[in-house]
């Protein structure tokens, strides 16, 4: 059996601070991008197409980033990816400052910058996930992952989103973006100075020989079903991410800011709870309960007649959506050797993201059937996802693949 590396608490602290600062910086401006695209003259349909392009950019980067993380190490790839991410935000700011009188050019350059950001995000994602898993005690991986990626990062935005809302309403989006960029640059410096490596692709000659070959992770039954289940969730979520603010309406932009602010607090609490639940009851029970309740909540959401009802339903939705966050990296870390984890995570992320890219366009077409149809679509997709995940994690499947991995490792 694989010998797990010792915990590196320093990485948990550094990544927790970095993720929190990143979320805080982005909460000042990034949630308003759908409104910004509308303000520069881009139609609702093409906003959906743009968000599809963002997913493509992140998907392609995930594949390259995963392979690079197994060859170059986790730390190097995280730093490179985050540098790309921050530079994308700089491109958007440049479009605001120097092309403000040309809405078409502003919109075009902002789309390019946003896509470059998503490329950086995708590039460093597999390395970031594996570094956190490899730096955590085995019995508390789920809790550590959610504490670092969701609990702490969700607290400051509860206030900062309201600040960003005020700035946007007062035509000071450029100021919110500028403050956000300073935060991103601070995070980049933090990672360069304090982040420690958990895996190097050049540990010994044999590993050098192995990593010199193209990594083509075998798409076994478990990985195929895992991708299918989470792709269904990703398709519906990516589509609704741009539609929800438009569904709420620009006239209720101030309420939308409050809604997102409250949901971040709910996310913080539910992230910590869900991380502990995954460690305690297992991924199977967590997905079964979480996604089933999520499907019911999403169906009820468009029937909220009062703003308070919409607020409650969206908060419940956001909380339940945290249950599945730590499941894929935990499952991959448990089933694959360390030298291939990031590559497999990259393959998983790329597959799910590429499949998810049809989400924004699919929701755009779903709107032709009715304003509430996108919510029904998500409920159906999550319900099917539950079935696929249960099949993937059935005991016979787990035992067969685990024994196969152990035999392969021994040989």
Enumerate residues 6+ apart whose C-beta is below 8 A from 151: 268, 269, 271, 272, 275
Residue position matching structure tokens 């956000």? 180
Look up residue 43 and give its DSSP letter.
-
Token pair in block for residue 298: 């999403």
Enumerate residues 6+ apart whose C-beta is below 8 A from 3: none
Q: What is the pLDDT of residue 155?
A: 81
Rounded to whole angstroms, how far apart are CA atoms 78 and 183?
17
Residue position matching structure tokens 């906003």? 47
Rounded to whole angstroms, how far apart are CA atoms 333 and 36?
39
Q: Tally Cβ neighbours within 10 Å of residue 10.
A: 12
Asked if the structure places residue 2 within a domain, the reply is no
* Domain that residue 297 falls in: 9-410
Asked if the structure places residue 4 within a domain, the reply is no
**Count of domains forming the chain:** 1
Q: What is the pLDDT of residue 250?
A: 67
DSSP structure string for 49-115: HHHHHHHHHHHHHHHHHHHHHHHH-HHHHHHHHHHHHHHHHHHHHHHHHHSTT-HHHHHHHHHHHHH
Tens-place pLDDT, residues 260-287: 778 877 888 888 888 888 888 887 888 8
Buried/exposed code over 76-100 (b: 16+ C-beta within 10 A; e: otherwise): bbbbbbbbbbbbbbbbbbebbeebe
Token pair in block for residue 195: 């982040």
Share of the chain above pLDDT 90, in %: 31
pLDDT in tens, the chain (411 residues): 344 444 457 899 999 999 999 999 999 999 888 888 888 888 877 887 888 788 788 889 999 999 999 999 999 999 999 999 999 999 999 988 876 667 778 888 999 999 999 999 999 999 999 999 888 887 888 888 888 988 888 788 878 888 998 898 898 999 999 999 999 999 999 999 999 998 765 444 344 444 444 445 456 788 899 999 999 998 888 778 778 887 877 667 778 778 877 887 788 888 888 888 888 888 788 889 889 999 999 999 888 778 888 888 888 888 888 888 888 888 788 777 888 888 889 999 889 888 887 887 788 888 888 888 889 999 999 999 999 998 987 765 444 444 444 444 444
Q: Are 188 and 86 in contact (CB under 8 A)?
A: yes
Asked if the structure places residue 82 within a domain, the reply is yes
Q: What is the pLDDT of residue 400?
A: 47
Asked if the structure places residue 75 within a domain, the reply is yes
Enclosing H/E stretch for 285? helix 283-300
Rounded to whole angstroms, how far apart are CA atoms 107 and 109?
6
Residue whose C-alpha is closest to residue 128's, from 65, 35, 55, 208: 65
Q: What is the pLDDT of residue 212?
A: 44
Q: What is the pLDDT of residue 219?
A: 60
Token pair in block for residue 218: 């075998």
Count of alpha carbons within 13 angstroms of residue 393, beta-carbon side? 23
Q: Are 287 and 386 in contact (CB under 8 A)?
A: yes
Asked if the structure places residue 283 within a domain, the reply is yes
Q: What is the pLDDT of residue 19?
A: 95
Asked if the structure places residue 107 within a domain, the reply is yes
Token pair in block for residue 265: 């607090």
Q: What is the pLDDT of residue 1?
A: 38
How far apart, in Å, are the Cα atoms of 278 and each of 129, 139, 146? 16, 10, 10
Residues found in the chain: 411
CATH number, residue 152: 1.20.1250.20
Please work out, in degrees rounded to the nearest 5, the angle formed at the alpha carbon of residue 351 by the alpha carbons of 298 and 238. Answer: 30
Asked if the structure places residue 3 within a domain, the reply is no
């Amino acid at each position: 059996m694989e010998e797990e590396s010792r915990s590196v608490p320093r990485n948990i602290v550094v990544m927790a601070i970095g993720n929190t600062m990143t979320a805080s910086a982005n909460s000042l401006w990034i949630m308003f991008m759908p409104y910004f695209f509308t303000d520069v003259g881009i139609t609702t349909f093409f906003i959906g197409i743009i968000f599809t392009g963002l997913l493509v950019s992140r998907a392609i980067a995930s594949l390259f980033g995963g392979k690079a993380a197994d060859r170059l190490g986790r730390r190097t790839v995280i730093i490179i990816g985050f540098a790309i991410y921050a530079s994308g935000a700089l491109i958007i700011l440049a479009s605001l400052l120097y092309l403000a009188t040309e809405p078409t050019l502003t919109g075009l350059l902002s789309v390019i910058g946003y896509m470059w950001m998503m490329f950086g995000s995708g590039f460093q994602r597999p390395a970031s996930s594996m570094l956190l898993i490899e730096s955590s005690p085995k019995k508390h991986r789920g809790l550590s992952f959610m504490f670092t990626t969701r609990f702490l990062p969700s607290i400051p935005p509860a206030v900062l989103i309201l600040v960003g809302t005020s700035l946007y309403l007062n035509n000071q989006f450029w100021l919110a973006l500028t403050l956000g960029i300073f935060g991103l640059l601070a995070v980049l410096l933090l990672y360069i100075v304090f982040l420690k490596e958990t895996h190097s692709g050049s540990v010994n000659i044999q590993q050098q020989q192995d990593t010199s070959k193209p990594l083509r992770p075998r798409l076994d039954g478990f990985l195929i079903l895992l991708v299918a289940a989470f792709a269904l969730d990703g398709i519906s979520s990516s589509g609704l991410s741009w539609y929800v603010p438009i569904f709420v309406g620009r006239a209720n932009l101030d309420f939308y800011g409050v809604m997102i602010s409250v949901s971040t607090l709910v996310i913080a609490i539910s992230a910590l709870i869900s991380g502990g639940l995954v460690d305690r009851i297992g991924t199977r029970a967590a997905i079964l309960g979480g996604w089933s309740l999520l499907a019911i909540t999403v169906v009820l959401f468009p029937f909220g007649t009062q703003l308070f009802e919409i607020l409650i339903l969206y908060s419940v939705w956001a909380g339940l959506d945290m249950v599945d966050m730590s499941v894929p990296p935990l499952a991959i870390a448990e089933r694959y050797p360390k030298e291939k984890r990031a590559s497999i995570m990259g393959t998983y992320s790329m597959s799910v993201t590429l499949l998810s890219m049809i989400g924004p366009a699919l929701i755009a077409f779903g709107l032709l059937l009715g304003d509430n149809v996108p919510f029904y679509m998500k409920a159906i997709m999550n319900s099917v996802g539950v079935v696929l995940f249960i099949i993937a994690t059935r005991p016979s499947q787990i035992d067969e693949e685990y024994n196969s991995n152990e035999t392969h490792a021994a040989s």
